[in-house]
Structure 1
Amino acid sequence: MKLRWSRTLTLLPALALALGVTTTVPAAADAPTVRSGWNNYSCKPSADHPRPVVLVHGTLGNAIDNWLGLAPYLVARGYCVFSLDYGQLPGVPFFHGLGPVDASAQQLADYVDRVLAATGTSKVDLVGHSQGGMMPRVYMKFHGGAGKVNALVGLAPDNHGTDLDGLTRLLPYFPGAQQYLEKLTPGLSDQMVGSDILNRLNDGGDTVPGVHYTVISTKYDEVVTPYRTQFLNGPDVHNVVLQDLCAADISEHVAIGLVDRVAFHETANALDPAHATPTTCTSG
């Protein structure tokens, strides 16, 4: 197994680039986030922001590093903000989202129940980046989450799959490679275009009733391409392209979730549409 993991880990830098992984040093614990008012289980939602916000990281991300920009941004605006780790594989610290998507969705289900119990609320709002914008849809469709979610905001979500920046096009040239990825990193193969979980997720329609959906994309996305495959179809869907709001915005797949203040402002608008303000290049 050590040999297999050593071989797998040699692939992770390329896969990390393909899936928009950051190169920040992983945080050691949740304590810094609690001191910042984030992941604070004593937080009670206000009348202005009556639902807690749960942040769902992307592939090879984690509950802290993915959200060093957006979490404080939302806390400063009065939200109770929480984040989870999901999709952990044995012996692989810090870099999560590699386990089966369906199992990750059950982890999200358990975490949402924990947040609801702590805050005394009946629904959450979810904000996710990349896989974290798609996987909550599995939670809502197959794990009882539809009645517990008010809104889902996806930042560059792979709602209809990805070819891992072209890497999967190479798989037929390497016999056994796809089976290798499926066995050791099922969270990656689950996100490939045409995977079983994605086919089941999108069969019968992209949305479930009662949930407000927002997809925020960038035309410079180099991972989930064409970028319009990120969009959802449904009666309560708002699909947004950053460059339609700010033509000068050059954020790609990574930056849209980490540092883009235009995306942050549009996320805040999606969480509180009654008090939305125009999103421009100077928003934030």
Structure 2
Amino acid sequence: MLPWKRLISPLVAALVAACAVTATPAAASAATVTAVSSGTVSSGWNDYSCKPSAAHPRPVVLVHGTLGNSVDNWLALAPYLVKRGYCVFSLDYGQLPGVALFHGLGPIDKSAEQLAAFVDKVLAATGAGKADLVGHSQGGMMPRYYLRFLGGAAKVNALVGLAPSNHGTTLLGMTALLPYFPGAEDLLDEHTPALTDQVVGSPFLTKLNQGGDTVPGVKYTVIATRYDEVVTPYRSQFLDGSGVRNVLLQDLCPVDLSGHVAIGLLDRIAYHEVANALDPAHATPTDCLSALE
């Protein structure tokens, strides 16, 4: 094997491993596997008979992260929102042929098209005029393409991003090494285009952020943690523009140690901020005790 090829393999492995933490633990139960394959869940969400209430008139669409899926990414947040009276739905997107359970790997512009179709399906089923979107990691950034380029702004009231890769990631500097390894970028593009789409300065992100971070008429909330080890630096997650609220978890609870995975999968302090963003008229202060709610 040529020396540079020996170097590519560990680099690619490191990049994939770093992005893999957006997924939930690999030990999914048989019930979860069945739920993913059948497109249904039994924990109160993805119920297409659900009709939004006067208190919560918009359905909530959950958008998983890289290597996540419509069930595992939301085993805690979806029931949290259902319990609070929301109609909650989640989709799978960015599937690659022959790769089961681990999604969000395909070209992000194509994933945004899948989101557009799913939102239309949810709005048709619920009779609502608009939806709210909540996404983790790539799932907090990808909807912005839908809002800007695919007509989503007319169908979405709010976008809430948990550790979103809004301006890409350096993966703690590892991506800066790519130019020194001939063929590494092509290898990533061929097998996992969503990863290279999320590298700082990628053509996708350049197009997405050109002309401003936001579009008129949509409310944006970004919830970040200073301990994020994947979307780095963490302040790159924040958005500029009207209708934006940027939140750092440690400003609300200094002892919150959540990293990139936990903020999406189990952090109820972050979830309290999600609920506030979805219903700002009834928002309540978030602090460390919010973890007990």
Normalised by the size of structure 2, how large is the TM-score? 0.90
1:122-160 alpha-carbon deviations (Å, 9 max, x no partner): 100000000000000001111110100000000000100
User: Is the alpha carbon distance of 1:125 and 1:73 closer, same or farther for their aligned partners in structure 2, counting shifts above 3 Å?
Assistant: same
Whole-Å separation in 2 of the counterparts to 1:8 and 1:95: 20
The aligned counterpart of 1:56 is 63
> Is the 2:172–2:233 Cα contact (8 Å) retained in structure 1?
no
Ranges in structure 1 where 5+ consecutive residues have no aligned partner: 1-6
Ranges in structure 2 where 5+ consecutive residues have no aligned partner: 1-7
Whole-Å separation in 2 of the counterparts to 1:148 and 1:19: 31
Q: 1:14, CA displacement in angstroms?
A: 5.1
Whole-Å separation in 2 of the counterparts to 1:69 and 1:33: 16
Q: 1:271, CA displacement in angstroms?
A: 0.2
Whole-Å separation in 2 of the counterparts to 1:41 and 1:22: 25
1:191-248 alpha-carbon deviations (Å, 9 max, x no partner): 1111111111111110000000000000111111111110000110000000000001
The aligned counterpart of 1:29 is 34
Which amino acid is 2:157 matched to?
N
Normalised by the size of structure 1, how large is the TM-score? 0.93
The aligned counterpart of 1:162 is 169
Pair 1:236-2:246 in alignment: no
> Is the 1:24–1:65 Cα contact (8 Å) retained in structure 2?
no
Percent sequence identity over aligned pairs: 69
User: Is the alpha carbon distance of 1:19 and 1:214 closer, same or farther for their aligned partners in structure 2, counting shifts above 3 Å?
Assistant: farther
The aligned counterpart of 1:4 is none
Pair 1:251-2:253 in alignment: no
The aligned counterpart of 1:116 is 123
Whole-Å separation in 2 of the counterparts to 1:32 and 1:89: 17
Which amino acid is 1:166 matched to?
G
Whole-Å separation in 2 of the counterparts to 1:217 and 1:224: 10
Q: 1:51, CA displacement in angstroms?
A: 0.3
User: Is the alpha carbon distance of 1:19 and 1:203 closer, same or farther for their aligned partners in structure 2, counting shifts above 3 Å?
Assistant: farther
> Is the 1:19–1:223 Cα contact (8 Å) retained in structure 2?
no
Farther off after superposition, 261-270 or 162-171? 162-171
How many residues are treated as equivalent by the alignment? 278
The aligned counterpart of 1:274 is 281
